Structure 1
Amino acid sequence: MIISLSEQLTTAVPHFHVGLIVYKNIVIDESPQMLKGRLDFFQEKIKTDLLEQSIVDYPGVLEWKQTFKQAGIDATKNRPSHEALFRRISKGQPIPFIHSAVDLNNFFSLQYEIPIGLYDWDSLRDYIKLSIGTEEDTFQGINGRWNKMKGKFVSKDKQGAFGSPIVDSQRTKTTHHTKNALQIFYLRPSIKKEEALQLLRAASNMFFQIHSGEASIYYLNSSTPDLKI
């Protein structure tokens, strides 16, 4: 499978880059108590921190709002997914436990302050392209709505749009039946490549501890905008 960044995307945001982790032969189940405890503790810490600071004081939230603005995306109408998690916590609404993979993905989003997409690898077809959405790019999201992705960051395969740093699709979501998965880490544009790779290695190690299987790490930016997996 070819995974690529479109020229339109890297022109709009020259420092746009993503990390990718492909997992094979994993076992998804209810989250272990260790993960639930860490996620609960982290949410409590965020609630305490937000008594003395605002959500945009988190560097990763601010930088992604600025990145959306740079690309011409209204970040008040289309919030990056990690910002939505912070805002949910600020309102006293706990993040619900779904299953081990989604719960860990949410933990990573809060920890690293970036949007992260998680997809069932076997539901993806032929290629993956990260681009700026067109009129045709719509999908039914895990938020229960049809999402129009024109002018927004979007990921698509042969069957159409399936994900973004805003919301992901029902078609490619992970479930307890998922055996192979893809994570897309929408890295802060300011982070250096080596730091990004260190982040990806740490995330893949923790994912492996909970789900077993195998993990392969990849990195895409404007200098290396495509790769074959």
Structure 2
Amino acid sequence: MEIVNEVRNLGVYVAYDVVAGVDNTRYVPQLEEEVRRVVEEVRRTLSLDTLKDHLIIRAYRDFYWRVLGIDPTKQRPAQEALLRRVLRGEPLPRINPAVDAGNAASIKYMVPIGLYDIAKIRGGVLRIRFSRKGEVFRPIGGSPIELDNQIVLASDSQILHIYPYRDSVETKIEESTRDILVVVAGVAGVGEERLVETARYLRNLFSLLGGAPVGEIRLA
């Protein structure tokens, strides 16, 4: 699996990884314990009142304003929305083991993470690029959207993701998923090393589900 980045000049970059053989049908105690530990760590070290001013969160908010033209108080960065939920005392959403692992990694490192079922991806090379007029995106939990000049992760025939906050229902992770593409989304002001460290941490969580990496963590 290869990702080509056509918009790096906008401060867009990713770390990506492939993990194969995940058993996403059952929870294991080690993963449950790690998710609980991460939630406790976040609540101990972060504050809801000052979250928006954290350097990492601020970098994504600035990207929303300056590059995407989105008000981040109305469409929050994905990881900020998760963090706010946890800091309000609500539980981290529970979807399935792999998605829950991704959410735990996202709040721990404060970066957005996309997870994609490789068996559902059509086409070869994926590109981070601007959408083409008339392309349609089918989001998880929403109606199809016709795109016009938005940053996406896509093949020639399929859009997986609107960068860096919304994934497609076409490639979502389900209990039957075995092989996963991990994409950690970065923006200007967030070091590549944080993205790689996040991907490495998520490898470790997926290993609890029987997953094994295929190749090295790569940057694009």
TM-score bracket relative to the smaller structure: 0.7 to 0.9
SS of the equivalent of 1:35 reads helix
Alignment partners' CA distance in 2, 1:81 and 1:218: 22
Q: Does 1:99 align with 2:111?
A: no
User: Could you tell me how far 1:216 is from its partner in structure 2?
Assistant: 2.7
Alpha carbons 2:132, 2:149 under 8 Å: kept = yes
Please state whether the residue corresponding to 1:171 is helix, strand or coil: helix
Match of 2:169 in 1: 170
**Distance in 2 of aligned mates of 1:65 and 1:184:** 19
Task: Tell me, yes or no, if the aligned pair for 1:16 and 1:189 is still in contact at 8 Å.
Answer: yes
**Partner residue in 2 for 1:206:** 205
> Unaligned regions of 5+ residues in structure 2, if any?
none
1:154 aligns with one of 152, 155, 161: 152
Equivalents in 2 of 1:52, 1:161: separation in Å?
33
Distance in 2, matches of 1:42 and 1:194, equals: 20
Counterpart amino acid of 1:159? S
Between the aligned residues of both structures, percent identity stands at: 23
- Structural RMSD (CA): 2.6
Q: Does the 8 Å contact 2:22/2:209 carry over to 1?
A: no
Alignment of 1:103-182 (within 5 A): 103-126=100-123, 127-147=125-145, 149-164=147-162, 165-182=164-181
> Is this contact kept in 2: 1:24–1:215, CA < 8 A?
yes
1:225 equivalent in structure 2: none
- Could you say if the C-alpha distance between residues 160 and 218 of structure 1 is closer, same or farther in structure 2, counting changes exceeding 3 Å? same
Q: Which moved more, 1:82-91 or 1:99-108?
A: 82-91
> When the two structures are aligned, how many residues end up with a matched partner?
217
Contact 2:83 2:107 in 1 (8 A): yes
Structure 1 position 10, deviation (Å) = 2.0
- The 10-residue stretch of structure 1 (201-210 or 177-186) with the greater mean CA deviation from structure 2: 201-210
Segments of 5+ residues of structure 1 without an aligned counterpart are 222-229
- Give the 3 Å change call, closer, same or farther, for CA 143–88 of structure 1 in structure 2: farther
CA contact (8 A) 1:25 1:212 kept: yes
- Structure 2 counterpart of 1:43, from 39, 43, 54: 39
Distance 1:120 1:37, change over 3 A: same
- Does the Cα contact within 8 Å between 1:140 and 1:170 map onto a contact in 2? yes
| Between 202-211 and 161-170, the greater mean CA deviation after superposition | 202-211
1:21 is paired with a residue whose SS is strand
Deviation at 1:21, TM superposition (A): 0.7
Task: State the 1:113 CA deviation.
Answer: 0.5
Relative to structure 2, which stretch is displaced further, 151-160 or 177-186? 151-160
User: Deviation of residue 129 (structure 1)?
Assistant: 1.0
State the 1:195 CA deviation: 5.4
Counterpart of 1:23?
Answer: 19
- Measured after TM superposition, the shift of residue 218 of structure 1 is 3.5
Structure 2 CA distance, aligned partners of 1:212 and 1:177?
14
1:60, 1:113 within 8 Å by CA — same for their partners in 2? yes
